Structure formats: structure tokens, C-alpha cells
Amino acid sequence: MTAADGSMHMPRHGVGGPPETVREALRERSAPLTEFGYRPVDAEFLAAAALLGGYFVRRQYLSYVGRRQGGADDRFLRAAKSGGHAAAVVGRSLFRLKGASLYRSIRCEEGLARRAAGWATVKKRLLALDYFLEARPEGTWLFSVSDKAEYFASIGIPEDRFPVAVRRGKGAARAFANGFPVVAASGERPEVSFSFAHTGATAAGLRRQLTLHEPLAAALASRGVGCEWVMLADSPGQFPRLRHAWRLWHDRTRRDWRELEFFALRQKVEQRNWSGLSRACVERYAALLAACSGKGADARYRKWLEKGAPPRGPEEDFASLSRYREVLLDHDYSIADRVIR
């Protein structure tokens, strides 16, 4: 699949569960659940499913523990039901996790406020869990709101840069409200991956996701950290609209940054501030003049001047450190359609 940067990003679809380094972190977090009688591997899966939205299907459990249907899943489900941690939603296949003891044990306080979800939300949560089970990206997985807040605070990013949304009809603003996992990877190219599970007929959800994350992406760029936007879907036909929406966003943000550079140079030219213009600046201004001229650019330039012409910082070019990837999770999610809408 072709990304906006021209490279090929194929789905990293596979089996065998997440890397051992990721499982180690999950093992530590899920350890308190063994006190309820769960095997360590069952506790790991229970924690992963709870942290990633609170829904799962049998095949996901079997994939994680490396078993076939018929015995291990029945024993696990009996223990989860008797412990008050799971309830059947659709037949004997789709389950919802619940219980204060479960969510407090794995340090996921927002799970306490979750209510039964509609079909679209359930499908998104199943996609997110499959991404964790199968895509297997290395890095630090940030599951809960507190995980994300603590990580970004540790690298000096203030809370006012976090993506904040208001729940419909609730009025209370919440950071990282969509609940999708975030993966922070270090190395030669430090990067944070933001995932988005798509279930709709339009790309409106993705456009909203990107807009909400712009302040955080800019703050990461100022620290030399790039962003990867990972699209999760169960059908190749969903990707064209997502790819188009991402390209529109990427081109707009690149244009905005390029215009800021042009505006700063244009102001110096109009003020005849020749001492502040080197030959390279003049050549750059000439190149940008053709690309950034027009009524729309003139209007934005006047507004820029009215606001006091703030200096252009490196973080404003966060789009240049952003890339796009698609992950196809080719499972049958039709069971989510049977959830009460």
C-alpha cells in the first residue's frame, strides 16, 4: 500500500502475539490478577483486553495463549465469569470485561467508568486488540490515559498539548478520549505511533483524530520525535478514503508551515529589512513567492500580521516528521453488528 511519502507500508499481519519485551511489561502489570486464580498467561490476556477497550472474542484469547478451541478457553471463561470479570454479550463468542477489582488491579481507572458500547465502538475495540496481538510493533505500549500522560510528561510535554475531547452529552473534557493504544519507539528515529480503528462510511473520525492530535504532534516534533499514523481496518476498501483524508491533512499542515516561512521573509522585504536577509534568504523568498501567492495566502498573511507575527518555530513543521501506515486485520467482525445499537 502506498503511503503519502511514496514508500510502501504493508500490513504487518502475523501470529504469535506481541514481542517478548512487550509481554514482559504486560506480565508485570497483570501480576495482581493471578491472586484471583488466573494462570499468568490468562492474566496477561485479561489485562490486554481490558486495557484495549474491554471486549474480546474467543479466537483472540486462543491466539494469545497458543491453543485450539475446546478446553483452555472454556476454563478461562468460567473463571472470568465466576470472578465477576466477564459477561457474554453475543452468544458464547463475544465478551465484555467489567469489575472494579479487575480495572484497579491493572491500573486502568478509566475502565471503571466504561458502560456497554454500541456495535461500532465494540468493533473498534476488537480491531485495537487484534492490532496488539498481531501487528507486533516494538516499543513502549501506552495503554491507559495515565500511561500516556506520564510518558509525555516525562519528555517535557505539558498537558495543554494533549488531545482533549468532550463526550457527547457529558460536557466533561477528557484527554486521550478515544482509547486507542499509543506506541513509543526509541532508536535512530524516535517515533510515537498513534493508531486509529476505522469502522465508518466516511473519514470524518480520522479527520477529527488528526486535528485533536496536532498540538501533541507539534510538541513531539520540537523534540525531534516523529509521528506515525497507523490505520486499522478489516477491509482494503476502507483505506482509500483514509489515505485521502490523511494526505489532505498532511498537505495542509505542510502548506501552513511553508507559508509561515514565506510570511516571515515577506515581512522583512516589505519593511526593507535588508540586513536581515542574506542571499540565501532572498533566493528562498523568490522560490516561495510563486508557491505561496494568491488571495487566500494574502488574507492569511494579513491575519498573521494582525496577530503580532509570532516567530516560526521548528515544531510547526511537524507534518514533515509524520508518516502513514495501513494495517489490514482480515478477520470476521460481523459479530459486532449483533450488538444492540
Q: Please count the CA atoms within 13 angstroms of the CA of 88 that sit on its side-chain side.
A: 9
**Whose grid coordinates read 501567492?**
293
* Residues forming a β-bridge with 141: 183
pLDDT tens string 117-138: 888 999 999 999 999 988 777 8
As a whole number of angstroms, the distance between CA 341 and CA 337 comes to: 8
Cβ atoms of 328 and 234 closer than 8 Å: yes
The Cα angle at residue 148 between residues 49 and 7, in degrees rounded to 5 = 85
Of 34-38, 127-131, 136-140, 283-287, which gets the smallest average pLDDT?
A: 136-140
With a pLDDT cut of 90, the percent of the chain lying above it is: 48
CA angle, 161 as apex, 18 and 192 as ends, to 5°?
25
Residue at grid coordinates 510563486: 290
What mean pLDDT is predicted for residues 302-319?
Answer: 73
pLDDT tens by residue, 76-112: 999 999 999 999 998 888 999 999 999 999 999 888 7
What is the pLDDT averaged over residues 268-295?
85
Distance (Å) of CA 140 to CA 18, 58, 120, 152, 318:
12, 26, 27, 12, 21
Q: Region 290-308: what's the mean pLDDT?
A: 82
Given a contact cutoff of 8 angstroms between Cβ atoms, the answer to whether 213 and 319 are in contact is no
3-class SS shares of the chain: helix, strand, coil, % to 5:
55, 15, 30
Beta-bridge partner residues of 87? 96
How confident is the model at residue 16, as a pLDDT? 56
